[in-house]
Structure 1
Amino acid sequence: MGCGVGELAAHLAGLGYAVDAVDWSETALAEARAHHGDVARWVRLDVEGDDWEPLHPDGYDLITLRFVAAFLTTRDHTLHALGRRLRPGGVLVVITPLAADTPAERRGIALDENELAALNSGWRSTERHDTEGSAFLVLRGPHRNSPLARDTSS
């Protein structure tokens, strides 16, 4: 989710993953297509506002959000909805700059410790790995068949 110009999508495809690279920006997707070709299925989708019909109906083993979480307006809802798209054993990985290591004028692109802690809520297991001013959160379960994953808000 939020593939931008496709670097991570192309890397994952090179590792053997079948990749749906999703972004809301057609401009970014056009650049990704031009630079990386058909290594991924490039999908234009606003994850918070559009119908998810273009996503793979059988779910995913891995969903990544690289430098996207800070921009989500319904962060918890969106991450848990994505969690319901995971296959059993699948993981959702959130990669984000750390607010403490981000200059004040760029603070909007990063998450602080409270925001990071909130992302862990409702997952069966979480891991955090920090490196060079970024946090990597690895979130497992609930998957779409788990009672914890059922969306009762609609």
Structure 2
Amino acid sequence: MDGRAVAEVELDVETILSAAQGHLAQRHVCTFATSVDDVPWAASAFYVARALDVYTCQRKDARTLAQMLANPRVSFAVDDRKAEAWLQALGTARPARPEEDTWAREALRATAPEFTRHFANPDYPVLVVSVDEFTFIDRAAGIVPRQHLILSEVGWRFA
């Protein structure tokens, strides 16, 4: 052995989903990737998560917001800049519903209180990225090798 954690049991979808949700819940900065008219863009942003849905609040003049609204297919990465644990996801962005907006703004303020003015500004919309595909690894949790899941009509499945 080379010292890396190895899964002792065969991984199932529920175990991977639970670990991925925990990964998202423990972190609050991601890198979003968007593209409109063949012009890609990447930007870091604060987020909060509910299950695998990621909520972010963007300035009204932000390129990330403009691109998410123009082309809602979005990808994002959440990691610690190490190979030990990371998540890469693909999903669809949409404006938050009123009850989601209220929850997300409060959760974002608790996560990054130094940006309270930003998160409280009603002119800065909250967007939700609903994940429908992701790749994930977490060596400490035994999620190795990397796992790729896709949301189908009947639920999450291995890709």
What's the TM-score, normalizing by structure 1? Answer: 0.24
- Point out the structure with max Rg over C-alpha: 2
What's the TM-score, normalizing by structure 2? Answer: 0.24
Say which structure is richer in strand: 2
Q: Give the structure, 1 or 2, with the largest relative contact order (CA under 8 Å, sep 6 or more).
A: 2
